Amino acid sequence: MKLCKFTDSDYQAVTEALENRSNMDLFTHDEVVRKILLDLKEKGDTALLEYTKRFDRYDLSVEQLRVTPDEIRLAYSSVTEQEIAALKEAAERIRRFHERQRQESWRYDEDGISLGQMVRSLATVGIYVPGGKASYPSSVLMNAIPAKVAGVDRVIMCSPFPDGETRPHVLVAADIAGVTEIYKVGGAQAVAAMAFGTETLPRVDKIVGPGNIFVALAKRQVFGIVDIDMIAGPSEILIVADHSANPAYVAADLLSQAEHDEEAVPILVTPEEALAREVMVELEKQKKSLSRQRIIEVSLGKECRLLVTESLEAAIDLANRLAPEHLELALEDPEYWVEKIQNAGAVFLGHFTPEAVGDYLAGPNHVLPTSGTARFSSPLGVYDFVKRTSVISYSQAALEKCGKNLNLLAEMEDLGAHANSVAMRIEGGKIKS
């Protein structure tokens, strides 16, 4: 970890590096991923099974690709009633929040013209759920429930089963969320299977969900064949704190992101140098008792920054520049300062709103823009699972009224056929010369 004050000679370099951060190399493995995609496109299930055996060490038959109802029932028997209740509560809170995002079709009429927009759900959506360093039932809920609220009929899920190891919490979460089909495949090959379709897996309209570098690259390469949600980078948190903050709370929340993976980015921004130093002590103290200490150590060593600014205003300005995935305002008056926030995936207000509540139970989506992309993008939501179609209707009188300007606009672009298509209707079939 590194403590850096606004008076230090390298402060500007440190903050600029954070502003331009992206730890994901989206080019190194391009050719590897491209080959996997081509193999899946050409060979379908055969290639999917081969790559699953090679990368996940799981020798499946075609008949074993899809999770069966018996396997779902077995998963329920492996999960406690308390855990099921917790998953159901989370699902209900996520559902209630996302129901407020529903969009309706609309029309309006004026002078013989009817204009509007039809909102239609996507037909088939694919969800990718990682299966490497941890089990992520919360990601299942966050990706699947908005799709179901949007009205998507067919929600399929792909998740690796390394060495054939099942993850009952993930399967139970999928069932609770309304996932229609689950397949035991992961990596770039799963993305390819969803994008192109195979003999067993359906082709989807959109792929959502996080994954490793190979998954990210595959999503990028199939974009345009299908839609994707985003290219997710490492998890990150930025905490803006003032004198009222509890250094133990701040450290705990920084550690909650550091444990995600070695590339996770925990940042504290504060005008209080004493607080920053107390947080450093707490980080060293608390990490010793955590189960993922090795991962935490790497993240803190590589990515953690404790930045001391000239003022709280400067801290807020820096937060907007960095556009973090998760932003905590550990401030005396967070309601005042939240109005100053322009760029963040999600904002957590006050001393009793740890980022962890957003990961699991609050309701807003935890699939958020990373690596500064909150400058121009938004959390996953119902709006990601619908498409909008414009509707246009003109009466004869309305077309005649605007005919002159239509003609002028077509002539500006030297598109005579456009002008003729209007003139045919206005001038009784006479082609404009």
Please tell me the distance from the alpha carbon of residue 195 to that of residue 158, in angstroms, as a whole number.
12
- Kindly give the pairing relationship between strand 113-121 and strand 106-110: antiparallel
What is the full DSSP assignment across 237-289? EEEEE-TTS-HHHHHHHHHHHHTT-TT-EEEEEES-HHHHHHHHHHHHHHHTT
Place of tokens 């003139």: 423
Contact criterion met (CB below 8 Å) for 347 and 327? yes
For residue 27, name the pLDDT band (cuts at 50, 70, 90). Answer: low
Q: pLDDT tens digits, residue range 218-252?
A: 999 999 999 999 998 889 999 999 999 999 999 99
* Rounded percentage of the chain residues whose pLDDT exceeds 90: 90
Query: What's the whole-number mean pLDDT along residues 317-346?
Result: 98
Q: Which of 325, 328, 355, 366 is catalytic?
A: 325
Q: What is the mean pLDDT of the chain?
A: 95
The model's pTM: 0.92
| Spacing of C-alpha 291 from chain mean position | 26
The two tokens of residue 263 are 């590339």
Instruction: Convert the pLDDT of each residue in 168-221 to its tens digit.
Output: 999 999 999 999 999 999 999 999 999 999 999 999 999 999 988 899 999 999
Dihedral of CA 402/407/412/415: which sign? positive
Query: Which candidate, 216, 250, 249, places its Cα nearest to that of 370?
Result: 216
Class level of CATH domain 30-100+122-228: alpha beta
CA distance 314 to 60: 56
* Cβ-based neighbour number of residue 367 at 10 Å: 21
Half-sphere exposure of 210 (CA within 13 A, CB side): 25
* Per-residue model confidence as pLDDT tens digits over 254-290: 999 999 989 999 999 999 999 999 999 999 999 999 9
Please list the residue range(s) of the chain that carry CATH number 3.40.50.1980: 2-22+233-363, 30-100+122-228
Residue of 263, 214, 236 whose CA lies nearest to 373: 236
pLDDT at 21 over 90: no
Give yes or no: 326 in active site. Answer: yes
**pLDDT digit string (tens) for 100-158?**
999 999 999 999 999 999 999 999 999 999 986 667 999 999 999 999 999 999 999 99
Assess whether pLDDT exceeds 70 at residue 405.
Answer: yes
Angle at 18 between CA 15 and CA 22, to 5 degrees: 160
pLDDT computed for residue 25 by the predictor: 60
pLDDT at position 29 is 81
Q: In this structure, what are the phi and psi dihedrals at residue 431, rounded to the nearest 5 degrees?
A: -75, 130
Q: Is 325 annotated as catalytic? A: yes
Instruction: Tell whether the torsion through CA atoms of 422, 423, 424 and 425 is positive or negative.
Output: positive
> Of the listed 326, 328, 355, 366, which one is catalytic?
326
- Per-residue pLDDT, averaged over 318-325, amounts to 97
Domain 2-22+233-363, CATH class in plain words: alpha beta
